[in-house]
Chains A and B, each alone.
Chain A
């Protein structure tokens, strides 16, 4: 069964699919990267590959914040909490992510005060209600979540909450796109731009991709039809020799982004000179740190940070998969040593990682097919 059949707009999907087939030159192979993990998840969930012609290849990009976080940063965050006896607060997505000595949940089982929060403001509230404790919020995410952390820090300072700090792991999407384009041997024809990151940063920051790199980029929504429409728009640009930034998701993404969110980020954060990305290595100016004016709320300035570096297992080929050089299935560990239950590589860690998405939908589907079970 094709997942897209569930849609009442099956007819519209079929039309978009036919348009893609009409536009795609039969003798050309297209490589489109969807930057955002949410798109990767949607592409697998809806079986969109089944409605695309075989000469359109979707490469899954680096836009899964949990996946690209180096294990050393998890170790650092947990060791601050351990050594200083502070409360460790993080989003639910982080709880099962393995550090060298176990995940946050495993640390909780060993007695650490670990709290799942759904908003950084909730971590601040825990601090306010427990003045005898120090609460460390383990911040993670692209520009979608960074403004929320920024506003929380602004609140913490204006309310004078001094038993609260942030261990900042926020990263920014543009340098990751640049790193991908700069990788040797990389061939990507065009990009499907991230939807929710762009509600914050808008569409202008992508203009260099079009102007300097001559790659079309279309910011897209997350419905199957959104993604297919974005592919139609990319093909039209390629066919006419254009390279522009287009906004397929204009119903949510303003061209100029969200100025209040950008202002909050500028008040609190500055760029780190470089930051390590799991599977991609060090990328310059690719992450945010807390400004010295907020030093009191910056866990890295307030506590001793061991600065742990953990190299990914050599056998895991996350970097190659992340840059589109290998398909998840081509990695030696995929589905064997490395599964969503026991992730070894970065891309198996979160459901938005391309290996986990591939494993959950494609791989299991083919398992069922070989077992003779109708799917």
Chain B
């Protein structure tokens, strides 16, 4: 719950303007960006995610550092589990969350 997980914003879903598809520790998930309304992120931006909500924008360098940090703290698995959990109750066919293929 207290983990801050870096995620890269990929695209916004049409009907809910604050709902964003992100890549987070290698998985694609929907998160909410409603708490960044004063300075909304755009596709390509990195954000720090707490409990499924983007809480701050960060640079790519900071995001990579943060990912390394999670690994060193031994919390990478917990982060992955948490990230996989976001929206785990959505099974709509037009959504394509899941682990990324490729290297």
Contact = CB atoms under 8 A, between A and B. Distances in A.
B89 A119 contact: no
A223 B1 contact: no
Contact of B4 (A119, A196, A352): A196
Interface in A138-167: 140-141, 144-145, 147-148, 151
A129 B91 CA distance: 11
A118 to B, nearest CB: 3
Interface stretch (B7-15, B47-55, B95-103): B47-55
By DSSP majority rule, is chain B's interface helix, strand, loop, or mixed? mixed
Give the interface size bracket for B toward A. Answer: 20 to 34
Contact of B55 (A41, A126, A144, A352): A144
Nearest to B73: A45
Contacts of A258: 35-36, 38, 55-56
Interface string B32-76: 101111100000000010111101101100100100010011100
Contacts of A147: 35, 53, 55
A165 to B, nearest CB: 18
Nearest to B84: A118
B32 A151 contact: yes
B1 A6 contact: no
Contact of A148 (B50, B58, B88, B89): B50
Contact of A144 (B2, B52, B59, B82): B2
Interface in A67-92: 91-92
A92 B88 CA distance: 14
Contacts of B86: 118-119, 122
Nearest to B49: A119
B71 to A, nearest CB: 10
B74 A45 contact: yes
Give the interface size bracket for A toward B. Answer: 35 or more
A260 B38 contact: yes
B68 to A, nearest CB: 9
Nearest to B91: A129
By DSSP majority rule, is chain A's interface helix, strand, loop, or mixed? helix
A297 to B, nearest CB: 17
B26 interface: no
A355 B82 CA distance: 24
Nearest to B62: A251
Interface in A172-213: 196, 199-200
Contacts of A66: 1
Contact of B32 (A42, A121, A253): A121
Contacts of B35: 147-148, 151, 258, 260-261, 264
18 contacts: A117-B85, A118-B82, A119-B32, A120-B52, A122-B85, A122-B86, A122-B88, A125-B87, A144-B2, A145-B50, A148-B32, A148-B50, A148-B51, A196-B4, A223-B65, A251-B58, A258-B38, A260-B38
Interface of A: 6-7, 37-38, 41-42, 45-46, 65-66, 91-93, 116-122, 125-126, 129, 140-141, 144-145, 147-148, 151, 196, 199-200, 222-223, 251-254, 258-261, 264, 352
Given A116-B85, A147-B53, 12 more contacts: A6-B72, A7-B72, A41-B73, A92-B82, A92-B85, A118-B83, A119-B52, A122-B89, A140-B1, A147-B35, A151-B32, A258-B56
User: Shortest 3 CB-CB distances between A and B: which pairs?
Assistant: A119-B52, A118-B85, A260-B37
